Amino acid sequence: MFKDKKVVFSGVQPSGVLTIGNYLGAIKNFKTFSDEYYCLYCVVNEHAITVRQNPAELRKRTYETLALYMACGLDPEKNTLFVQSHVPAHTELGWILDCYTMFGELSRMTQFKDKSAKNADNINAGLFTYPSLMAADILLYQTELVPVGVDQKQHLELTRNIAERFNQVYGETFVVPEGYIPQTTAKIMSLSEPTKKMSKSDENENAVVRILDSKDAIIRKFKRAVTDSGNEIRRGEGKDGIMNLMSIYGAFTGKTEEEIEREFDGKGYGDFKMAVGEACADALAPVQAEFTRLAADKAYLESVMEKGADEASRLAARTMSKVRRKLGFVELGRK
């Protein structure tokens, strides 16, 4: 495999300020792979345009997402950090894989149904074929392991199906990837609707804690978090709000659910919410400080983008050469 290491690939859309759900469920875990794997982490800006974006905002968020990757501990010397649109092979392979993805498979994708309901005036073809482009992102680098949230598990299964289908027709071409889903913080829920995933596109600011929120804002949001009519910090039926807060607190402190229940035995929801807010704000403070430093140096961020694009393009070219040859495409021997 590349550099004699197995490959890890993952990506985050720059369609809004990242949340603690993105941080705990994905980015915080990315750096744990850096020593053992060859890691590629992408800012997937082409996926973002399935929903209409303000161009200036998208550009700004692209820089910010890259800066947040590094602020969360991703060293560009140990990881390939790049922007999706800087590697044209993503969209080339995306079209090819469209031709090996069945209409019925795409029709069954839960996220397509959810996003179509939210964007009824813009149900575009890209929204429908988004999973094929995601498959291209992954298969392009012969990825073995994909850190994903629970909500992306269906897309990863489709990626595996597409790879196996292509391999059956043309012989071994793509590595069939495995998913990695952290068990303890796989899905962080909305503070206002704890049965729904926390989303950076949520219009209700009180539902979402963003990585760059101030300490005051973080504590205020946790104080307003929906719980239930009881007053005990315990797991149980109908306690989705408390269980979500316990999950967040455990992720930031390393404490188990049993330890959390003992710590807050006899205490009320007010004390617990304050503790969760404090733990979250304290954990994010160094990330925010490093982000501020990095975001101020646009030239450095662009140098990281260029280096990452060069590395990713070189690796992608190997796969694309193999794919084009197997498909029967004529390649020119350009110098």
Distance of alpha carbon 87 from alpha carbon 230, whole angstroms: 52
Per the listing, tokens 């109908």 go with: 238
| Whole-number percent of the chain with pLDDT over 90 | 67
Spans of all domains in the chain:
2-181+298-327, 205-292
Quick one: 203 exposed, middle or buried, by C-beta within 10 A (0-12, 13-18, 19+)?
exposed
Catalytic pick among 197, 221, 239, 273: 197
**177-186, 246-255, 277-286, 313-322: range with lowest mean pLDDT:** 177-186
The mean pLDDT of the chain is: 90
Q: Find out whether 154 and 109 touch, Cβ atoms under 8 Å.
A: yes
Which pLDDT score is estimated for 1? Answer: 42
Distance of alpha carbon 15 from alpha carbon 25, whole angstroms: 17
Tokens read off for 103: 């209409």
Catalytic pick among 3, 6, 78, 200: 200
**114-118, 146-150, 208-212: range with lowest mean pLDDT:** 114-118
Architecture of domain 205-292: Orthogonal Bundle (1.10)
Q: Find out whether 114 and 135 touch, Cβ atoms under 8 Å.
A: no
Catalytic pick among 6, 28, 115, 273: 115
Mean pLDDT of 138-165: 90
Mean pLDDT of 162-184: 91
**What is the Cα gyration radius of the chain?**
21
Mean pLDDT of 6-31: 88
Q: Is the per-residue pLDDT at 315 higher than 90?
A: yes
Mean pLDDT of 231-242: 86
What's the pLDDT band for 3 if we cut at 50, 70, 90?
low
What's the pLDDT band for 185 if we cut at 50, 70, 90?
low
Strands (E), the chain: 7-12, 38-43, 79-83, 145-147, 178-180
Q: Is the per-residue pLDDT at 13 higher than 60?
A: yes
Quick one: 72 exposed, middle or buried, by C-beta within 10 A (0-12, 13-18, 19+)?
buried
What's the pLDDT band for 238 if we cut at 50, 70, 90?
confident
Distance of alpha carbon 238 from alpha carbon 230, whole angstroms: 10
pTM: 0.88
Q: Is the per-residue pLDDT at 246 higher than 80?
A: yes
| Whole-number percent of the chain with pLDDT over 70 | 96
What length is written for the chain? 335
Mean pLDDT of 256-270: 91
Looking at the DSSP assignment, which residues form a beta bridge with residue 41?
A: 10, 81
Active site residue 31: no
Cα angle 203, 288, 59; round to 5? 60
What's the pLDDT band for 296 if we cut at 50, 70, 90?
very high
Q: Is the per-residue pLDDT at 333 higher than 50?
A: yes
Active site residue 153: no
Active site residue 307: no
Q: Is the per-residue pLDDT at 134 higher than 90?
A: yes
Tokens read off for 286: 């160094």
Q: What is 2-181+298-327's CATH topology?
A: Rossmann fold (3.40.50)
* pLDDT 10s digits, 71-120: 999 999 999 999 999 999 999 999 999 999 999 898 888 777 777 777 77
